Amino acid sequence: MLNFMDIKELDGRLPDEVIASFAGRGIKEFTPPQALSVEFGLLEGRDFVVAAPTASGKTLIAEMAMLRSVIKRRKKAIYVAPMRALVSEKYHEFKEAYPNLKIAMSIGDLDSLDSWLHEYDIVLASTEKLDSLIRHGADWLDSIGCVVFDEVHMLDDSSRGPTLEILMTRLKRVARDSQIIALSATIGNAKELAEWLGSELIESDYRPVELRKGIEHSGTVYYADGEETLKSSDKSAEARIVANTLDLGKQILLFYSAKRNTEAGAERLSLLVSSKLNDGEKKRLAEVSKRILGALGRPTAQCEKLAKLVERGVAFHHSGLVNEQRHEVEEAFKSGLIKAICSTTTLGVGVNLPAHTVVVRDTVRYDEQYGSTHMSVNVVTQLFGRAGRPKYDKMGRALLIAKSKEDMRELYNRYIDGELEPVESKLGMESVLRTHLLSFIATRFLTSKESISDFMSGTFYGYQYSDMDDLNRIVGRVLNELEGWNFIERHGSVYKATRIGERVSELYIDPMSGKWMIDSLPNAKDVLSILFMISNTIEMRPYVKVIDEAEEQFVVYQKMIENEGSYMISEEFGYYDPLKPFSTSIMLNDWISEKHEQEITLKYKTTPGAIYTKINNADWLLYSAAELAKLIKSSSRRIIEMRVRMRYGIKEELMDLVRLEGIGRARARLLFSEGITDVKSLRKDGSRERVERLLGKELARHIYDQLNG
């Protein structure tokens, strides 16, 4: 039986203003998971692992623990999540709910201590940012009274999981007096995770909106308890389900295995969705479409495609979109304007974007390392969790699509009736341990093999695999490697980081990337060699596809990897082809040569979002290279200049103009082409009139205010 709890039962246990905030947000009673957490000691400081479906109220459990820490114990509360978008969403929610508390968000610069966070009651941070703050010696860790880890099923993710696991283990040690709350919607071994953390477990299948899971085949949806006929003459299953959903006056999310599939799916559905729009919706969608089209200085083919589809009430959503476009699509869907989104699985985690109906069209996806693989039950369950909108729906639908009766039986057994997979530690890899071991030693947290082994035995890996021999052997190899690279020194049984090792750790780059850049700096003399230096790093993976131009030019630069780059060729990263990072360096060179995004996307078969991800990574790696150059007494001038060019995507001749706020890539080129080639030329007689004509009076005034200031 599901037990609810009236919030009035909290009188005296939480401050009146907190209870008033709950009531003001329409919360009159606690859901069963919330009620159980209070009953089992949440407000007395007990640690919890909460495994419950989306929208079951997990965030409010975390809020109560954080508020207890801040108001009752006068201690700081930390909220940690693996995705920046989720951190940002929760930050805005908390700021609105608790305007009297000092709430901060930290997700940016990974080479910053952010000492100002000391003054805040609640800090929301990404996993990597909090790890970075610890590396930089944040002095407020002992003032933490509560730590919330959201989306802890990400422990199973090979890219994000190890950092989360190390962070959880470390905070258990250094913030012993803090209450730990771990939240997850999908986890097959929640009991094991709770035992590792020494926490109470709340495991619930409560959902405020009923979820019906089914499989569509030939116009009929088959549920465990019945069937539903889709009255549609459309030939494709996607169209039949979309038409049915729109006839109900609802919205739909469709998940695909690849970016190109999302775009093709949205195009196939666009005319159907458009036919269901009214004139008012079409007018408002045209405005959204215009903003999407203008997200870049000049739109690419992808921008034009997305803008056209949005006008028809449908969109695609994947990592190839730039942030402004993703935001516009998400907000238009939340407001009910966009009726259908075709997305990759990335939309299944992070921002809260529910719909009445969810379709997982593809359950098999291609992996470069493993080939075609079945999607896990955990991932599909996470996607299913987007179905059903509290306050709008009494029931949500989560559907798979079968090609045959045999396919339907297999899908049902695997995903509808199947068990969630257990979350497993991904910590036992050299590539993962390298950066964390250096951090331990650089921050003087752990300085011997014995202390490192003891710490590792307390990780989730240590809990799952009691035999630590394999991990200890890996730790020994990594320590020898770091010592050989001159990042750490051994004095008897004690390890100490060198100054270079400390800086590599602070810069939050893989030590292998740091070693490669240090060795390459003396040979990085021209533009392409500098770009190859930063492209041939772990942080720039995955690389772009090899182009013919790279094969022709690489002969001049291959000497860079003949000796220094030998350690980059490693089985742990799969097959290494230096032409891939070299092609990536040519792409970056095209960007700083002022090639248009459209030209770059076509040449490298990539997307605007992927380009800007590479540009952002390149910016950070150029900064890191310049910092390392200082330590080895190598000139950093060219690298610093390259960073300016990378940030704006400009040739060297425009560097002076972009120093002015409001002058970017396109405006600087426009001014230059009209004879205004630098800041000095802006002061010449008649220049202001030309600037006003080219850029408008308001921007011209802003530019000359800067000159006169």
**Residue pair 336/251 in contact by the 8 Å Cβ criterion:** yes
Domain contains 623? yes
The span from the CA of 538 to the CA of 542, in Å, is 8
The residue range of the domain holding 254 is 210-416
Residues 663 and 619 in one domain: no
Question: Using one digit for the tens of pLDDT, what is the confidence trace for 365-375?
Answer: 876 666 778 99
Residues 551 and 448 in one domain: no
Residues 189 and 338 in one domain: no
Domain contains 422? no
Domain contains 424? no
Q: What is the pLDDT of residue 571?
A: 45
Residues of the chain with pLDDT under 50: 1, 569, 571-573
The beta strands (E) that lie in 37-137 are given as: 48-51, 76-81, 103-106, 122-126
Residues 412 and 277 in one domain: yes
The span from the CA of 311 to the CA of 304, in Å, is 11
87: CB partners within 8 A, 6+ apart: 79, 81, 105, 107, 124, 125, 126
| Residue of 118, 166, 164 lying closest to 143 (CA atoms) | 118
Transcribe 218-248 into DSSP letters: TTEEEETTEEEE-----SSHHHHHHHHHHHT
**Residue pair 490/503 in contact by the 8 Å Cβ criterion:** no
Residues 471 and 597 in one domain: no
**Residue pair 477/483 in contact by the 8 Å Cβ criterion:** no
Domain contains 285? yes
Task: State the Cα angle at 133 between 50 and 477, rounded to 5°.
Answer: 90
Pairing of strands 357-360, 494-497: unpaired
Number of domains in the chain: 5
Q: Of 387, 416, 445, which residue sits at a domain end?
A: 416
Residues 531 and 583 in one domain: yes
The span from the CA of 243 to the CA of 247, in Å, is 6
Q: How far apart are the first and last CA of the chain?
A: 70
**Residue pair 344/362 in contact by the 8 Å Cβ criterion:** no
Q: Of 141, 168, 203, which residue sits at a domain end?
A: 203
Q: Of 203, 238, 255, which residue sits at a domain end?
A: 203
| Residue with tokens 């002095």, as numbered in its chain | 139
Q: What is the pLDDT of residue 574?
A: 54
Compute, in degrees rounded to 10, the torsion defined by CA atoms 673, 675, 676, 681: 160
Question: Using one digit for the tens of pLDDT, what is the confidence trace for 491-519?
Answer: 999 999 999 999 999 999 999 999 999 99
Tokens of 112: 């910053």
Residues 270 and 333 in one domain: yes
Tokens of 35: 């009620």
Q: What is the CATH number of the domain that holds 588?
A: 1.10.3380.20
Report how many helices (DSSP H) and strands (DSSP E) the chain contains, helices first.
30, 21
Query: b vs e for 236-266, b when ≥16 Cβ sit within 10 Å of the residue's Cβ?
Result: ebbbbbbbbbbeeebbbbbbbbebebbbebb
Residues 392 and 483 in one domain: no
Residues 405 and 286 in one domain: yes
| Residue of 624, 628, 532 lying closest to 586 (CA atoms) | 532
**Residue pair 602/613 in contact by the 8 Å Cβ criterion:** no
CA 215 to chain centre: 31
Strand partners, 202: 50
The span from the CA of 309 to the CA of 656, in Å, is 40
Measured in degrees and rounded to the nearest 5, phi and psi for residue 209 equal: -120, 125
Residues 402 and 434 in one domain: no
Tokens of 612: 């800007």
| Residue of 474, 478, 483, 539 lying closest to 507 (CA atoms) | 539
The span from the CA of 134 to the CA of 506, in Å, is 10
Tokens of 474: 């890996």
Domain contains 448? yes
Q: What is the CATH number of the domain that holds 675?
A: 1.10.150.20
Alpha helices in 248-396 (DSSP H): 259-274, 279-293, 301-311, 323-334, 377-384
Q: What is the pLDDT of residue 350?
A: 67
Q: What is the pLDDT of residue 297?
A: 78
Q: What is the CATH number of the domain that holds 169?
A: 3.40.50.300
Domain contains 453? yes
**Exposed/middle/buried for residue 492 (C-beta within 10 Å: 0-12, 13-18, 19+):** exposed
Residues 38 and 185 in one domain: yes
14: DSSP letter: B
**Residue pair 453/495 in contact by the 8 Å Cβ criterion:** no
Residues 548 and 690 in one domain: no
Domain contains 498? no
Question: Using one digit for the tens of pLDDT, what is the confidence trace for 105-162?
Answer: 998 777 677 888 889 999 999 999 999 988 888 888 889 999 999 999 999 998 899 9
| Inter-helix orientation angle 259-274/237-247, to 10° | 50
Domain contains 421? no
